[in-house]
Structure 1
Amino acid sequence: MRVNFKRSAQTDVNMKKKQRRTLQSTLNTIGILMFIGILIRWWTVPFAVSKDLRIYYNQGFQMTLNERKEFLAFVLCAASVYFSLVNVYFLGKTGRRLVYTVLVLFAVFSLYMMLTLLAVATH
């Protein structure tokens, strides 16, 4: 009785590559939809709900030109970081380590900023 182990091993490797591509494309698609949703906020912010649950347009909530530029810069920077991290993650073991390191640094920086803002707000 002969068993062909090479063929099954190749199939496993091909399936893992296919799953990686599928996960990567899924994360990229989710990112596209997420950032399109954030950009839609540009037009939906001026709408508010009154006490009697009617939707009305509030001119006071409209973003100024400077606020729009800042909002667009934030969204573009956040999108570039997200897509960079997603695509670097799938480059291999080194890419994963780099992504995890960046995420830990983001977490530490966020905690530091939270504590700093808390200290400033309480004084």
Structure 2
Amino acid sequence: MFIGVLIRWWTVPFAVSNDLQIYYNPDFQMKPSECKEFVAFVLCAASVYFSLVNVYFLGKTGKKLVYTVLVLLAVFNLYMMLTLLAVATH
């Protein structure tokens, strides 16, 4: 799954026209600095994912810890979404 996400910068510049022809759009290509940020994000997400999977299988305590972390991540994501929405509308 994460390898599929990593190949994004090669597949995104290709688009489909109205007559279903595939064409290359250089405006969609990521710049080198964006590629570094994207790779860092994907690697961090993968490390969090695989760490949580490993902790989950440690037993009952691991499951509680994973569920707690997932709830905290959900609350943080909701908070960030609302904060960004408030900043964007002002």
By the TM > 0.5 criterion, same fold? yes
Match of 2:45 in 1: 78
Structure 2: stretches of 5+ with no match in the other structure: none
**How many angstroms does 1:42 deviate by?**
2.0
Q: Give 1 or 2: higher helix fraction.
A: 1
Higher relative contact order (CA 8 A, sep 6+): 1
Question: In the alignment, which of 111, 114, 117 is matched to residue 78 of structure 2?
Answer: 111
Match of 2:4 in 1: 37
Rounded Cα–Cα distance in structure 2 between residues aligned with 1:119 and 1:101: 27
Match of 1:50 in 2: 17
Deviating beyond 3 angstroms after TM superposition, the runs of 4 or more aligned structure 1 residues are none
Q: Which amino acid aligns with 2:88?
A: A
**How many angstroms does 1:82 deviate by?**
0.4
Match of 2:58 in 1: 91
Q: Deviations over 1:16-62 (max 9, x none)?
A: xxxxxxxxxxxxxxxxxx11111121210110111221101111111
Figure out how many residues of one structure are paired with residues of the other and give that number: 90
Rounded Cα–Cα distance in structure 1 between residues aligned with 2:30 and 2:84: 25
Return the index of the structure with the highest Cα Rg: 1
What is the CA RMSD across the aligned residues, in angstroms?
1.0
Query: How does the TM-score come out when normalised to structure 2?
Result: 0.93
Partner SS for 1:112: helix
Query: How does the TM-score come out when normalised to structure 1?
Result: 0.70
